[in-house]
Amino acid sequence: MLINALIHTLVVLLLSPLLIGIIIRVKSRFAGRRGAPLVQPWRDIWRLLRKDLVISHTTSWVFFVGPVLGVVVPVLAFLFVPLGAFPAAISFEGDFILWLYLFALARFATAAAALDTGSSFEGMGAAREVTYASLAEPVLFFCLLVIARLSGSLSFNGMFGADIAAMWPTAGVSLLLVALCWMLVLLLENARIPFDDPTTHLELTMIHEVMVLDHSGPLLGLVHWGAAMKLMVSGALLVRVILPFSTGHPGFDIALFALGMILLAALIGVVESVMARFKLPRIPQIMVGAILFAFFAWILVLR
């Protein structure tokens, strides 16, 4: 179990910035540029971690807890998540609830850190963040309920274990809806277009970016790293649903998982390139639509 945990930790810490690099590369290619090298996010994080800090005198210790939890939580959460067919390090009945609430804790800390600066920009970002995220929770619950019902298990290992390939023929429609809703939540929680634009710093377009305006140096490095890790954690389950194959060998399973993650990152890059950001009032409407889709998927499974 300890080796498993070590593998999980290393994967999430080391491989997650790669996803960001892939997304940026895909977007650049769409825009006709060559794009930054794939290792650029690592370089950025490393550079930031070695820099000095500048602190606003409005802030307090709460300002530090935001980025710290932003890193600690995804690492812990990743231990629950199976890497494709490679089982998770920690597994118990009801672990997905702890998983969801760990991310809620990270959100609390980030929003509090944003309000700590006393700037209206960050306050606005915090307000938007907690507003839209509260709609994402029911979607995730419905999706997980669908999979729990189909697999008969209450832990990630069981839900996304070997049986998932067998679920597609019988409950394909539900699983498709689940995958779609999951994708929407992933895009929302990780601040991707069409919900949020991670590259601009205009007031109109920001949710997550605006919350971290005042972080600098190591704090900013942790923020970026945490965002990458969060993307990996959220994406891992989606990848497993879409690519439910499993070979016998753990090494191949991990490799397959890695391939799936890369494809997912590419997909995100494509989505970001072909779509524009939605108007902010549209976001709740879309999320309510997602709730209804997920609810419908659940009803289908209940019969």
Residues 168-207 that bind another protein (CB under 8 A): 201, 203
Q: Is 211 in the site for another protein (CB under 8 A)?
A: no
* Burial class, 258, CB count within 10 angstroms (exposed 0-12 / middle 13-18 / buried 19+): middle
Instruction: Give the residue, chosen from 4, 9, 40, 131, that forms a contact with another protein under the rule CB under 8 A.
Output: 131
CA angle 285, 192, 246 (to 5 degrees): 100
Report the distance separating Cα 152 and Cα 149, nearest Å: 5
Instruction: Give the residue, chosen from 33, 37, 47, 101, that forms a contact with another protein under the rule CB under 8 A.
Output: 101
CB 254 within 8 A of CB 86: yes
Report the distance separating Cα 228 and Cα 12, nearest Å: 9
> Nearer to another protein by C-beta: 46 or 245?
46
In the complex, least distance from residue 48 CB atom to another protein, rounded to whole angstroms:
13
Report the SS3 class of residue 185: helix
> At 175, which amino acid appears?
L
Report the distance separating Cα 269 and Cα 264, nearest Å: 9
> Nearer to another protein by C-beta: 274 or 302?
302
Q: Is 102 in the site for another protein (CB under 8 A)?
A: yes
Instruction: Give the residue, chosen from 2, 3, 31, 152, that forms a contact with another protein under the rule CB under 8 A.
Output: 152
Q: Is 20 in the site for another protein (CB under 8 A)?
A: no
**Residue count at the site for another protein (CB under 8 A)?**
78
In the structure encoding, which two tokens stand for residue 89, read together? 């390090």
> Nearer to another protein by C-beta: 39 or 292?
292
Q: Is 52 in the site for another protein (CB under 8 A)?
A: yes
Region binding another protein by CB under 8 A among candidate stretches 149-157, 166-174, 188-196, 244-252? 149-157
Report the SS3 class of residue 281: coil
Instruction: Give the residue, chosen from 2, 3, 31, 61, that forms a contact with another protein under the rule CB under 8 A.
Output: 61
Q: Is 13 in the site for another protein (CB under 8 A)?
A: no
92, HSE (Cβ side, Cα atoms, 13 Å) = 5
> At 82, which amino acid appears?
P
> Helices 120-151 and 95-116 meet at what angle, rounded to 10?
180
> Helices 164-189 and 250-274 meet at what angle, rounded to 10?
40
Q: Is 137 in the site for another protein (CB under 8 A)?
A: yes
> Nearer to another protein by C-beta: 86 or 298?
298
Binding letters toward another protein, positions 254-283, x by CB under 8 A: ------------------------------
In the complex, least distance from residue 63 CB atom to another protein, rounded to whole angstroms:
9
Report the distance separating Cα 1 and Cα 89, nearest Å: 6
Q: Is 149 in the site for another protein (CB under 8 A)?
A: yes
> Nearer to another protein by C-beta: 178 or 242?
178
